[in-house]
Amino acid sequence: MTPSKDLSAIQQSLLSRQISVINLVDQYLKRIAESDSLNIYVEVYAEEVREKARLLDQKIQHNPSSLGKLFGAVFSIKDVICQKGHGTTAASKMLEGFVSTYSSTAVQKILDEDALIIGRTNCDEFAMGSTNENSIYGPTKNGLDTTRVPGGSSGAAAVSVQQETCLIALGSDTGGSVRQPAAYCGVLGFKPTYGRISRYGLIAYASSFDQIGIIGHQVRDIGKVLQVIEGYDPMDATSSKTSPTREWTSDETTSFSVAYLKEVMEHNGLDAEIKKNLNDVIHRMRSYGSKVSEESFSLLDYLVPTYYVLTTAEASSNLSRYDGLRYGYSHKEARDIHDKIVKTRTEGFGMEVKRRIMMGTFVLSVGYFDAYFLKAQKVRQMIVDQIDKLFEQYDFLLLPTASGKPPLLGESMSDPVKMYLSDIFTVLANLGGYPAISIPVHPHAKGLSTSYQLIAKSNDESRLLHFAGQLTNMA
């Protein structure tokens, strides 16, 4: 028996005593054991989550009116999101053995609403990667085809939901790191507007891009979680004060206007089957009354270069704090402080992290700052201006999430440029700070998943999730 994929159904079963929370948790723990070969979790909180389940069962029995909004929701959290008293290593030797002294705002908010956290999931080191292979813990495998990657950097978070080892996963999305693995794994992946969810307690990669995202099976469950964890946080100066996400009922239908991009549909890297499925989605939207039109976007080829210039620059700054002098890994046999820092960073960081630090340091260096970093900032603004003009006419943009099927394990490691280019359709939402959701559609050959994504204007999560809910109900 596997747990329901719907939080409302789980909560009804718990309240009617058809199942207990401890039984529910044990089912998830059994699924974790059965999927151990996929290398999803770096740590499972088995005894802790079972003890909290027992306490929640007592609460259901004796004081059900005091239950939080997320009771019965079992979460996994990516190994870049802090939870007090638990390890948080960013899948890096640099933070090996580090135990967080506080919880991230998002984690604390779900715990306050009676959610249960079952463990922390593997990821690309410091969230740098698109395949979940750049990890001190080794690669995570895709449960749909174990010879292929699950995507990254939140690849294991996506597999944790795919394999039903939890109901919801919290990941992080810097350039598509929630949506792309969700697409490869056949589940929903949602990234909010930049600033809607606090980044306090999220280990930083690129601060003007990073956002905590949500992976799940049901749009309405993603909406429930978003309503809990969104909102201004005085601990995060980049969090914003915005209207709360509205909850839509399933019988509310609305017609929207949607634009798809000519340059995307004609891109030579777009898989033929994904293009066919995207055309099917366009047809389905039109048949249900939405206006869907083709528009041009002349800056498509500038998305990935702009993204990588800016994110590596921010990464080189953010990761300068890991020097072996304060916390985390520290080389023990150094001649002096300079030697200690060099040896600590040389041994503590993996190859991909070093590559991005070097790239970022280069584009920020004297003589190259104007040519690369400053120019990339200007192009970022041009991209935002073009997309904002489209949002004056349309409610949503429709794009594929990934350009092709998931690569084979090891295939991307020898060609980092190819890996970077795989983000071409997801980085747009992060460059502009827009909310976006990846929705699975028809299966690809060999049972693999294909997905599309909807991008909305900033702080339009309510309508985005409403439309996504309509589309999943139509499927």
Q: Which residues are catalytic?
A: 78, 153, 177
Phi/psi at 76 (5° precision):
-110, 155
Q: Which tokens go with 24?
A: 């529910």
State how far the Cα of 384 lies from the Cα of 376, in Å rounded to an integer: 12
In terms of residues, how long is the chain?
475
Q: Which tokens go with 225?
A: 């979680």
How many other C-beta atoms can be found within 10 angstroms of the C-beta atom of residue 366? 6
DSSP states of 211-277 as a string? EEEEEES-HHHHHHHHHHHBS--TT-TT----PPPPPPPTT-----EEEEEHHHHT-TTS-HHHHHH
How many other C-beta atoms can be found within 10 angstroms of the C-beta atom of residue 388? 13
Can you tell me which residue has the tokens 């249960």? 116
State how far the Cα of 344 lies from the Cα of 323, in Å rounded to an integer: 6
State how far the Cα of 209 lies from the Cα of 174, in Å rounded to an integer: 5
